Amino acid sequence: MSELIRRARPGDEVEITAMIRELAEFERAADECTVTEKQMHTALFGDRPVAYAHMVEIDGQVAATAVWFLNFSTWDGVAGLYLEDLYVRPAFRRRGLARKLLSTLAGECIEQGYTRMTWAVLNWNVNAIALYDAVGGKPQTEWTTYRVSGPELSSLAGESRGPQ
């Protein structure tokens, strides 16, 4: 069995998009996932990439992906890596691929001088939580994540424009 972990390259957006949709289905939110291959291509490989990805291939088959982007710590004064999605296809689970992807991303942090790697996990995903605990991840219970999107985002943006 051959195993390869590598940076994503143009053309991988097809498999990455498919795995994002598979992950959305697993997370019980498939109806909220609207990403297209073209969007992923632009995000990953456009003139100004806003995201990065790693792929895992087993005997030439795409088995897993990790999609990430840079954030910035004002306290440390340097970038960090935010892991947006880590997904291992069902047929390839229980082989340590998620842990190997996390290790690869940790190596990316060390090589680039990033001081942290951050991610979120759904409260009910006990298998992922067990992995994250096992690799030394620490839940940030003192922080509450907020998000504004959709109509609320438009409404908030409208406040900065004044009366229309």
Q: What is the mean pLDDT of residues 7-34?
A: 97
Q: Is the pLDDT of residue 159 over 90?
A: no
Give the CATH fold of the 3-161 domain.
Answer: Aminopeptidase (3.40.630)
Strand partners of residue 56: 5, 64
Please state the domain extents for the chain.
3-161
Q: What span, in angstroms and rounded, lies between the C-alpha atoms of 150 and 156?
A: 10
Tens digits of per-residue pLDDT, 94-129?
999 999 999 999 999 999 999 999 999 999 999 999
pLDDT of residue 163: 62
Residues 70-84: b if buried by 16+ CB within 10 A, e if exposed: eeeeeeeeebbbbbe
Tens digits of per-residue pLDDT, 39-97?
999 999 999 999 999 999 999 999 999 999 999 999 999 999 999 999 999 999 999 99
pLDDT of residue 154: 92
Structure letter (DSSP) for residue 80: E
pLDDT of residue 99: 96
Band of residue 160 on the pLDDT scale cut at 50, 70, 90: confident
Q: Are 66 and 101 in contact (CB under 8 A)?
A: yes
Q: What span, in angstroms and rounded, lies between the C-alpha atoms of 2 and 27?
A: 29
Q: Are 102 and 35 in contact (CB under 8 A)?
A: no
Element (H, E) at 65: strand 61-73
